[in-house]
Chains A and B, each alone.
Chain A
């Protein structure tokens, strides 16, 4: 396993947002060794107005000396500046932090302690629903028929160290492992139910070369420059800050390695017959996702996003998953699940009325009709893009 441990720590203060950030590993022998950090924390907190945030999301380790020092400063601030509201933002990914900082909250109830990553992903509740697992598996089966031929054009090869970020239920990682014989695959996701499923599947198929890791794609604990090939599929569209994910993908990729992303443009889903109804519904899907700060139209924007993130040598192509690829019922089943997720769950969450929801569902039903029609055609377009990390 790659070593994620940093032997040193850093601290910084963002005056604009009043966020004091600690990162790395703090294990001093004496409190005086971190005196400059604690003094800075005290000074920043004492001159804060209103909210003051302490960000420990990437503080991988802290011994009790460092923790006691931090806690002493914060207790002092609470005593002397009761008007300042202190919030500690931690990540559930860094296992030690909830244990320690929840103890601090017990000691000083006025300090807020929050798990930041729970609030970061606006559409997380929808896509982390464990009932969504079966459709995810089917979608991977449908896209893999295309991607196993596409991936080599984007630089994947045998013997690589691969990271599959936002791996979902982990089936793509297993397919990569079987097809491309990597030395090592780490597959990371933020949905615990999906990861549990992924581990069960790996065990069932006797795949031992994939490590499934719980993590926040926007702030991963994976080391810098570690992986030859990094994949992130159908996920930038779920985040309201895709540039943060791309920045992390760039960071963990080796110089000269490549990052591969795939995304959709849902309004380009199509079908015949009943194309107009289908078109209307998928245009509405795009608006619905936008309401939840997600961009299901991101596919064709991948090139710009990769360039803006600092990648070079961008390669991009698209493919269409259709009802003719395999069993049409497979395609229909995926659309049924979209119908349920988008119409019954997300549209209701947005507060749409029943008339809208019925019309909205009709487009999905017509897409299913097209898929199963003996002379019909139904399609779901995907854009893939990859960029090379500069040397």
Chain B
């Protein structure tokens, strides 16, 4: 992991909590990195939430699904960029994933499917599929089970920008 300072500036109202770059070659055959990164990031940014352990547990679960999706989808070499930002109760995960045009379409098509009316049923079908786990399930889970707002934007023909907004803590007075 390398610390980089030249990422895009945080969006209005969002404060950057943590960011890193990673050469996707590092991920090759290093599945455990998904677990390590999600646990590390979740622990690092949870301390000032109302219930740090509960928040960390949920954030780690969501991050891991995202990292696993990236792991299973990426084929192109390049720099994977990760940012986590915060605006009040919302945590924003921003990822820049190097990928081919086909892989861009995977993300964009999945986002379209998530917006479809039967997304909840699709999520359950994916989650309990007897054909093993479909790589779309993580993104569906974030949207359906965690009520996350997701977007995927192609960056020219070599990367996808994923943005996930999560509110993991119940609202309090």
A→B interface (CB under 8 Å): 1, 3-5, 7, 25, 27, 29, 31, 60-61, 63-65, 67-68, 71-72, 75, 93-96, 99-100, 103-104, 106-107, 195-196, 199, 211-215, 221
Contact = CB atoms under 8 A, between A and B. Distances in A.
A195 B51 contact: yes
Contacts of A96: 57-58, 61
A61 B60 contact: yes
Contacts of A65: 132-133
B78 to A, nearest CB: 22
B60 A5 contact: yes
Interface of B: 31-32, 34-36, 39, 43, 46-47, 50-58, 60-61, 64-65, 68, 123-124, 127-130, 132-133, 137-138, 141, 145-146, 168, 172
Contact of A3 (B39, B146, B168): B39
Contacts of A215: 53
B172 A196 contact: yes
B63 to A, nearest CB: 11
Contacts, number: 97
Contacts of B172: 196
A29 B50 contact: no
B129 A95 contact: no
Contacts of A7: 32, 35-36, 39
A94 B57 contact: yes
- Label chain B's interface by main secondary structure: helix
Contact of A64 (B50, B57, B138): B138
Contact of B54 (A64, A67, A213): A213
A107 B138 CA distance: 18
A196 B169 CA distance: 12
A95 B43 contact: no
Given A64-B127, A93-B54, A95-B54, A5 B141 contact: no
Contacts of B55: 95
Given A95-B57, A96-B58, A99-B146, A3 B43 contact: yes
A3 B133 CA distance: 29
A131 to B, nearest CB: 17
Nearest to A100: B145
27 contacts: A1-B47, A5-B60, A7-B32, A7-B36, A27-B68, A61-B57, A61-B61, A63-B64, A64-B65, A68-B128, A68-B132, A71-B127, A72-B130, A93-B54, A95-B58, A95-B61, A95-B168, A96-B57, A100-B127, A100-B145, A103-B123, A107-B127, A195-B50, A212-B50, A214-B51, A221-B53, A221-B57
A96 B63 CA distance: 12
A325 to B, nearest CB: 34
Contacts of B130: 72
B52 A211 contact: yes
A27 B57 contact: no
A300 to B, nearest CB: 34
A64 B133 contact: yes
A214 B54 contact: yes
Given A5-B60, A61-B61, A68 B51 contact: no
A79 B32 CA distance: 34
